[in-house]
Structure 1
Amino acid sequence: MDALATLAVTGVTGVVGGLVSRGLELKGLSHRLLVRTPAKAPEVAGTSIHAASYADGQAARAALSGVATLFMVSAAESETRLDEHRTFIDAAAAAGVRHVVYTSFVGAAPDATFTLARDHFFTEEHIRGSGMGWTFLRDNFYMDIMEHLVGTDGVIRGPAGDGTCAIVAREDVARVAVEVLGDPEKHSSKSYDITGPEALSFEQIAATLSDVRGHAVSFHDESVAEAYDSRGHYGAQAWELDAWVSTYTAIRSGELAQVSGAVHDITGISAVSFERFLREHSV
């Protein structure tokens, strides 16, 4: 393990960060794993483990000392996520990090329909103002979670209308990240929309699930009021309900329909389709 590696990766106990770490391992690129709980860190050759969290600036600064390039997976959704991001970014800049590769969201903007995309916009702005170089991977919604939106009755419910979304596999996001981290200067000051190869409506997503899984899945287009009512029994906070419902209204708005060729352009391999993804992955 190389404690002096100048590349650091966060989110390694999650799917995207874990895939990125393993992709770097395959390329023989030593890196640090930044984790809140070191005991939960994956075993990856050529890595060292460093305890750090986004909310603890002092620990983050120590863990990032000597790091040149940082892969920053966005923090878990919470009311304090943006503050945590800012604390961590400030710590990275203070530690001397030169380049941040950040997992953002397609259409990140202060007035984005998807409420959590607003956090991504302000995080991007904080990185831009930090003095560090940057690359933003603006991911669309993950196709990996589509199957989890199906209710026990086989119905996907939400106010998405006939809007479409260029959903992307997390493994494609990770492949892009690995390539960018291998040559960050090549991708400096660039934002990439990371999408799948096609934009699908929920009617099409449901039909594909039905065909591949062999059981009926359908889509019910709720009104916005119905969407809030149907999710109210979970006891979620207001910001969580807004995020859940705006997942669908953002699709209805057309803001997430644009298909990008970035996955192929950067990795040389086309993004996986939703049908292929389902056939290659079990539930």
Structure 2
Amino acid sequence: MVRWSADGLVAVTGASGRLGSRLAFRLAAEGARQRLVVRDPAQAPRLADGRRLPECEIAVADGYADADAMRAAFHGVRTVFLVSARESADRVALHTATIDAAVAAGVERLVYTSFVGAAPDATFTFARDHWHTEQHLAAVAERSGLRTTVLRDNLYHHALTMFVGDDGVIRGPAGDGRVASVSHDDVADVATAVILDERPRRHDGATYEVTGPQALTLAEVAATLAEASGRDVTYHAESEQEAYESRAGYGAEPFEVAGWVTSYTAIAAGELAHVSDDVSRLVGRPARSLAQWLDDYPAEWANLRR
């Protein structure tokens, strides 16, 4: 059983997003003092009556590239929760600059959201960004004494709902590969357990693989989405060439299209199939399956009910 300790100021980056906002509410519920780092103060998470979360400060920074604002946001902070930046050509540079800003501000501990299978040769090209970030984080920790924990998340359940096209078809070169997708809420629960554990040093240097409780093929994902939504949802297995051709007209940059396509080929390669017990070990309950998440959070997949 995890026992909580709300000692020290916690900075939550990306606090207006799906993951950061969930963590902010959990930390507030446990009485933690926190500083929410956002681009727009109006988008910071608030209580239902519009009031700020208790024991909560707001810091404004125009993204991770705003090094001065990030250092100011981290001043006096003991722990930083670093939500990975949106995919971009300079994503690794944004991550490393933010890590460096945390060290310059005197932060003692940083928890980073990475991706399962992060490696220099990962099939999923965006997972390579996470590997390079992890390498920088490890190097900084070695020379500065920064205490670090890495949460390697699988694809989110919500992301799978966004794979469905307007015609109800999931198209991609995933073959019969499997994905152990996870909910944002389970990741937020793991982050809460790591950040507020009264024995925090047992997480120092740890890398956790945060997955759902089962690995599904995309055909099974489609069937699960169809049952929950009452809509006809199917999976069409494209070839890799077909996938690039079908996305060529979107006007996206090549690195972005490569990320889209390789999220499927990584599934085909088996790189997203491993089911970890880290959620249950750290949180004390099983992770939510895709079907459970669909049942518990209907507002999260309203895009399917058309």
Q: Which residue of 2 aligns with 1:201?
A: 217
**2:8–2:79 contact (8 Å) kept in structure 1:** no
Q: Cα offset for 1:106?
A: 0.2
**Pairing partner for 1:162 from 154, 157, 176:** 176
Q: Cα offset for 1:36?
A: 2.1
Q: Distance in 1 between matches of 2:64 and 2:227?
A: 42
Matched, 1:247 2:269: no
The structure-2 alpha-carbon separation of the partners of 1:281 and 1:6, relative to structure 1 and needing over 3 Å to count, comes to closer
**Pairing partner for 1:258 from 274, 277, 283:** 274
Letter in 2 for 1:97: V
Deviation per CA, 1:27-48: give whole Å up to 9, x if none: 1111111112223222222100
Q: Which residue of 2 aligns with 1:105?
A: 115
Q: Which runs of 4+ in 1 moved over 4 A?
A: none
Q: Which residue of 1 aligns with 2:190?
A: 176
Q: Distance in 1 between matches of 2:121 and 2:221?
A: 27
Paired residue total: 280
Instruction: List alignment gaps of at least 5 residues for structure 1.
Output: none
Residue 259 of structure 1 aligns to a residue in which SS?
coil
Letter in 1 for 2:272: L
**Pairing partner for 1:218 from 234, 247, 261:** 234
Matched, 1:121 2:137: no
Q: Distance in 1 between matches of 2:132 and 2:256?
A: 18
Q: Which residue of 1 aligns with 2:285?
A: 269
**2:123–2:266 contact (8 Å) kept in structure 1:** yes
Q: Distance in 2 between matches of 1:203 and 1:40?
A: 37
Q: Distance in 2 between matches of 1:216 and 1:174?
A: 31
**1:139–1:195 contact (8 Å) kept in structure 2:** yes
**1:199–1:259 contact (8 Å) kept in structure 2:** yes
> TM-score, structure 2 length as denominator?
0.89
RMSD: 1.2
Matched, 1:49 2:52: no
Residues 19-58 of structure 1 mapped to structure 2, 5 A cutoff:
19-43=22-46, 44-52=53-61, 53-58=63-68
Q: Cα offset for 1:5?
A: 5.7
Q: Distance in 2 between matches of 1:256 and 1:201?
A: 11
Deviation per CA, 1:2-56: give whole Å up to 9, x if none: xx96211111110100000000011111111111222322222210011223112
- Percent of residue pairs identical: 49
Letter in 1 for 2:139: G
Q: Cα offset for 1:63?
A: 1.5
Q: Which residue of 1 aligns with 2:49?
A: none
Q: Distance in 2 between matches of 1:147 and 1:58?
A: 37
**1:61–1:91 contact (8 Å) kept in structure 2:** yes
**2:9–2:32 contact (8 Å) kept in structure 1:** no
Residue 32 of structure 2 aligns to a residue in which SS?
coil
